[in-house]
Structure 1
Amino acid sequence: MGRTENPINYEVSTRGRLAELLRAEKAGRTYDELATLTGVSAATLKRAASGKVVPAETVVDSFLAACGSAPRTVRTAKSLRFQARRDELGGPIRVLATTVNTADALSDAFEALHRNAAAPTYREMQKSAGGAYLLPLSSVSRILRRQMLPVDEQQLVAVLRGCRVPEREHGEWVKAWRRAMGRSSSPIDVRGLTWVIDAIRRISTEVRFEALAAGMAPVMAAVEQLDTSRLAAGITPAVAALAATEQLDTSRLAAQMASAIAALPPVAPVTAA
């Protein structure tokens, strides 16, 4: 006969209820037996069923799998774990995308969304987002530590998915991100940049324009979204392609490009005649 277990800690109600469920599913098995089946230490499994801590989701999954728990029980346990973790953090925080207008407010919102999602680990967020190529761990860390904001809408949506924000709410968060980043929702009249291309043509008659076109593609894609950080990055391959020409005056090219970037925000949207 196994040792009598200590009473469950109900200091956080949902945490205690989760421990109660796990003990009921254990049904006479020892923690050593479960450890052999799960590969999780007996001490970790015992803590999971104590009510003193909120176990990791992987621990709950392994615990119940070893017990042969029914799918409905597994869903109940996951729900209790989610609620327990959120209660442990102090409960949900009301946050509305429509009230976010600045970078600081957006950082505050990400903290609240992360907390409301029961503070998933960075790897859990990455998995929910769709993988490392969409949401690198380093980016998650910097965003939640208020060191950066999502670099584009794709990364924003990845963060939202990582925080389990419903898809129906993503549109409002995209608008909030644009406001916080100072981005326009209206497309720019890119015809206003034709003088930049003309200036490049005048700099050298020996430019390899096929290479230039390839380099300028990401520039023009960035311009359409008024994303000046991507625009700057896009200019780099264009300059590299042009630099292959010995007669190119790169200092004049850089000056022309700088003027182009500075001129972007005031460009007015095209209106029908």
Structure 2
Amino acid sequence: REFWVIIDTGSSDLWVASVYCQSPSCYMDLLCWQLHTGHMTPKTSTTFQCKWRKLDLHYGFGKITGVLASETIRIGTAVAKNQTIGLTKSKIDGFLENSPYDGVLGLAYPSLTRREANPLFDNLKRQGVISQPVFALFLSSWPQKSSLLMLGGVDHAYHKGDLKWVPVTQAHLWQIAVDRISINKMVVACSGGCQAIVDSGSSVLAGPTQVVRNIFKHTKTNPKEKSQLDFCDSSKALPPIIFTINGMDFPVSPKYYLQK
């Protein structure tokens, strides 16, 4: 079977929808599954082994429950044998309730996995499928060029200039140190340095309420205006938000921090 999964650096487990799922959301997703893939049916696999151990995964906007199993997993040309996966029995609340995908592929560290499960990426390295313990994501903003997950190295055709490396401060999530956040050469947040998590499973920049409010105050054409709305035309004059990480500046333009 083929499955559509979210590539998530904010978790470590791999799970997919299964025939065991009895929640209403699974029945709502059934038509979508039949159109492009199908749900996990153990009886159709010769390499499937169920461990019958309970699985509970909590995300920022929902949770799933299920059981653990072992299966041969192929992603692109890479194949991992005896890979532990989660099979859903329910999908509850939030974005998981009506999600258009079949599961989640976690790429965080093994310390974040549940029970004895090992992340798929770590199994690929352990089994000698990939030569380097490196993965990369290319997120495309152009329709003519699709996004890409690279395993075992980096395809340098997908970036310009040298890669910028940032140390991980805690091998659990992809946690890094941010030096400061500034706008118009003024530090507006993280003045003494702070910690952040790089999470491909989220499409937003999030932080403590007061910190975000202070950043927001400096990104408005009229700082005294309390409304979160602004004229679209005025957005062209707004400054970029500069994230300084490991001594390097990473600007975020209004195009990416405003929602129209």
Q: Which has the higher helix share?
A: 1
TM-score after normalising by structure 2: 0.28
Q: Which has the higher strand share?
A: 2
Larger Rg: 1
TM-score after normalising by structure 1: 0.27
Higher relative contact order (CA 8 A, sep 6+): 2
